[in-house]
Structure 1
Amino acid sequence: MEKKEIKILSRKSDLAQIQAQLVGLEINRKFPDIKISYSTKTTEGDIDKFSPLSEMKTTGVFTDDLRQNLIEGKCDAIVHSWKDMPIDIGEETIISGSLRRADERDILLVDKNKVNQIKKLKKISILSSSPRRVYNLKNFIKDYFPYNCNEIVFNNIRGNIPTRIKKLLNGDGDALVVAKAAIDRLINNPFKDFSELSKEIKHYINQCLWMVIPLSVNPSAPGQGALAIETKSNDKITKKIIKDISDPLSITCVKKEREILKKYGGGCHQKIGVTFFPTFFGLVKSEKGESENGKTFSDWSVLKFNENSNLSAKKDEIFPENNSDYKFFKRITIQDSINKINSLNNHCIWISRKSALPEGALLSLTNIVWASGLKTWKSLSKRGIWVNGCSDSMGED
């Protein structure tokens, strides 16, 4: 039996509707004869715009109200942000699939108009409702922010992404941390109905300095960046369609993350981040946080190497064989090179190691600066250089 129409439900926010339409787009690419219709519904989490999510009494405040429509047959599928899903959703429905995962990382936005104030007061106020982000960012700001901050204050914020950025730019705080996937989807969405929104978000971002926070120091909320496509458990046809558009590796990674979250009790009140993500050499796990009993943990490891990744080398294949023989060049300062670097504007600059950028070189804030790893980033930040992100040492050594 063929499916003639799939009714997709989502929350009412622009981001939720974009995510639903991205799923519909993938269905039509594979099944062009299927009609896609969309509907929206307000959830408990949307109605309560003030309570911190970590203090709400129940899990599933953004998902449970939608699920009831699915159970009652008012829709065929729901598109959720997977990080919003409770660990247990019952037996009547199932997560049937997910598109390829977007960027798992968080992004820190800093109002450009607040930079001088931050430098002068040596204090920064960051808008965030997430215990995980608060826990991780306190140390991150101390080590990787180019401006000395003796005091780091976190203030609660609620609302959709455009609302949060407006609150930042209207003076509610100096900085804001959000999921990068949300920003990416709002800006890069291909839909005419949301083209003006894309321009609006770009305009807001241009008023900010930004940093993409590395997963090694700030693993994401389990499922962050991934979409959960929920169907009825007994709807074999829709389940098969969703499976055919899904990315198995993304699903595997999220399931592993949620297994770990379940071990700690689940819920967005936890100071726990865990991310599994694929690389060219294998699956990497980043896990960090503090359990409810006060136990801290941190793990950054390669879970499984790809069969074709050969990371070993014989001693006679290494040059130089001993580190003591490594320094066979003498570094001297070339002023013309420094002048050239200082003149760069609106460039993307990759810095492979801390010694690659000569002393005296200054980088304009109009540039995007990417470091190879955390050691390089930390060294650059001590020199007052704004670094936008790094490759988490996958290439630094």
Structure 2
Amino acid sequence: MFDASMDGSGQKGGGLIRVGTRKSQLARIQTDSVVKMLTQRFPDVHFDIVAMSTTGDKILDTALSKIGEKSLFTKELENALERKEVDLVVHSLKDLPTTLPPGFTIGAVCKREDPHDAVVFHPSNAGNTLKSLPENSVIGTSSLRRAAQLKKIYPQLQFKDIRGNLNTRLKKLDDQNNFNAIILAAAGLHRMGWEERIGQILSPEECLYAVGQGALAVEVRAKDQDLLNMVCALQDPQTVLRCIAERAFMRKLEGGCSVPVAVSTFIKDSQLYLTGAVYSLDGSDCLKETMQSCIVFPNEEVEGPNDDSQHVGITAVGVPHKSLASAECLGTELADLLLSKGAKKILTVARQLNDAR
């Protein structure tokens, strides 16, 4: 149990925990939801939210895939964590690289929101789907992953970069006539209370989603056992196992926002199913496969609070080790399968073409 008389750095602090977050409205809503869950479990602890801007928030005139920085939305927050200016940080898991800086770990992955992508249409196109939009309609997305998949299905549409937080992108859509629709994560729209703006949810058959999309991660210093013991109360085992498989898949492929890598996962009857794919920038080349692995083992022991083993950056206290290892192995093996079929060449060309754009 977390000692409420200690702060996150192990010093006497009257039960004060400082929580780092990005400044955007969505980031604050996500962080507030995590703090609310922690407050319900630890009512004697006071949580102080510290908001800051990250590199990704400041550079708004360049496509994410062109910036080349792996920690666009996390570096400043992790610097504050290292300096002990904050004790834990709340992230969108999809923003976190699959290899974290030394000394950090993801201490909890919260229950996943809808991980799928959503289409938000310009008011003049309300009631449409992507298929029914007029030819040469312009679709806004900053994601190579989304564009690559949708270009193949909808060659009659045009895809154009759009940057900014959710508020900014929706304002660009509504107030200007540059876009007929934009693609956003359904999870963010749900959390902002903007479900009525969702005109279409893209199924995995249309658009596989990003690794970790829809899940929130709580990052802490790896040696802060008190904090690890506290935040593990937020752990959602099924989300953890799905996201470990997804992150292992991307890490083996050496993927990121500069190449189109996509996934879909679900759990049924003790089996974890992972679909993974890589694409060329225009979607014409694609390798896509599905594998499954058992993640429930009878009589398996659960690690105690002192177990600090990490799986693709996640310390999942309270989740059985064999299940975690099986999920990670599934992601690695699926990536190996795609690599054996030529995935490295597709990704190398995609990265080169993206750099040259």
Q: TM-score, length-normalised on structure 1?
A: 0.66
Match of 2:171 in 1: 166
Distance apart, 1:202 and its partner CA: 5.9
CA distance in structure 1 between the aligned counterparts of 2:230 and 2:270, rounded to whole angstroms: 31
Match of 1:316 in 2: none
CA distance in structure 2 between the aligned counterparts of 1:185 and 1:251, rounded to whole angstroms: 20
CA distance in structure 1 between the aligned counterparts of 2:91 and 2:36, rounded to whole angstroms: 16
Distance apart, 1:267 and its partner CA: 1.4
Quickly say closer, same or farther: Cα 1:212–1:288, change in 2 above 3 A: same
Match of 1:128 in 2: 141
Equivalent residue runs for 1:71-220 within 5 Å:
71-114=82-125, 121-140=134-153, 142=154, 151-170=156-175, 171-187=177-193, 201=194, 205=197, 210-220=199-209
CA distance in structure 1 between the aligned counterparts of 2:178 and 2:17, rounded to whole angstroms: 42
Contact 1:83–1:224, Cα closer than 8 Å, also in 2? yes
Match of 1:298 in 2: 288
Distance apart, 1:135 and its partner CA: 1.0
> Is 1:275 the equivalent of 2:281?
no
Quickly say closer, same or farther: Cα 1:121–1:20, change in 2 above 3 A: closer
Quickly say closer, same or farther: Cα 1:236–1:306, change in 2 above 3 A: closer
Quickly say closer, same or farther: Cα 1:131–1:234, change in 2 above 3 A: same
CA distance in structure 2 between the aligned counterparts of 1:300 and 1:108, rounded to whole angstroms: 25
Quickly say closer, same or farther: Cα 1:30–1:133, change in 2 above 3 A: same
Distance apart, 1:136 and its partner CA: 1.1
Contact 1:129–1:156, Cα closer than 8 Å, also in 2? yes
- Structure 2 residue runs of 5 or longer lacking an equivalent are 5-14, 298-357
Distance apart, 1:160 and its partner CA: 0.7
Q: Highest Rg: 1 or 2?
A: 1
Aligned length: 282
Match of 2:210 in 1: 221
Letter in 2 for 1:181: A
1:243 aligned counterpart, secondary structure: helix
Q: Any runs of at least 4 consecutive aligned residues in structure 1 with deviations exceeding 6 A, and if so which?
A: 115-120
Q: 1:52 aligns with which of 55, 60, 63?
A: 63
Distance apart, 1:182 and its partner CA: 0.4
Distance apart, 1:281 and its partner CA: 7.2
Identical-residue share of aligned pairs (%): 26
1:270 aligned counterpart, secondary structure: coil
Equivalent residue runs for 1:360-375 within 5 Å:
none
Match of 1:323 in 2: none
CA distance in structure 2 between the aligned counterparts of 1:78 and 1:47, rounded to whole angstroms: 19
Quickly say closer, same or farther: Cα 1:245–1:120, change in 2 above 3 A: closer
> Is 1:15 the equivalent of 2:21?
no
CA distance in structure 2 between the aligned counterparts of 1:136 and 1:17, rounded to whole angstroms: 31
CA distance in structure 1 between the aligned counterparts of 2:206 and 2:270, rounded to whole angstroms: 20
Computed over aligned residues only, the root mean square deviation of the Cα atoms, in angstroms, reads 2.6
Match of 1:42 in 2: 53
CA distance in structure 2 between the aligned counterparts of 1:121 and 1:241, rounded to whole angstroms: 52
CA distance in structure 2 between the aligned counterparts of 1:213 and 1:233, rounded to whole angstroms: 37
CA distance in structure 2 between the aligned counterparts of 1:254 and 1:232, rounded to whole angstroms: 20
Listed one character per residue, the Cα deviations across residues 168-216 of structure 1 (whole Å, up to 9, x for unaligned) are 11222001000000001111xxxxxxxxxxxxx467x2xxx61110123
Contact 1:288–1:297, Cα closer than 8 Å, also in 2? yes
- Structure 1 residue runs of 5 or longer lacking an equivalent are 143-149, 188-200, 308-397
Match of 1:235 in 2: 224
Contact 1:108–1:175, Cα closer than 8 Å, also in 2? yes
CA distance in structure 1 between the aligned counterparts of 2:255 and 2:230, rounded to whole angstroms: 30
Match of 1:379 in 2: none
1:86 aligned counterpart, secondary structure: coil
Distance apart, 1:301 and its partner CA: 5.2
CA distance in structure 2 between the aligned counterparts of 1:277 and 1:243, rounded to whole angstroms: 22
Letter in 2 for 1:219: L
CA distance in structure 1 between the aligned counterparts of 2:275 and 2:28, rounded to whole angstroms: 30
Match of 1:312 in 2: none
> Is 1:32 the equivalent of 2:38?
no
Contact 1:216–1:286, Cα closer than 8 Å, also in 2? no
Letter in 1 for 2:3: E
Distance apart, 1:279 and its partner CA: 4.1
Quickly say closer, same or farther: Cα 1:301–1:86, change in 2 above 3 A: closer
Quickly say closer, same or farther: Cα 1:211–1:282, change in 2 above 3 A: farther
CA distance in structure 1 between the aligned counterparts of 2:236 and 2:67, rounded to whole angstroms: 32
Contact 2:123–2:174, Cα closer than 8 Å, also in 1? no
Q: TM-score, length-normalised on structure 2?
A: 0.73
Distance apart, 1:266 and its partner CA: 2.3
Quickly say closer, same or farther: Cα 1:281–1:2, change in 2 above 3 A: closer
Match of 1:256 in 2: 245
Quickly say closer, same or farther: Cα 1:87–1:202, change in 2 above 3 A: closer
1:20 aligned counterpart, secondary structure: helix
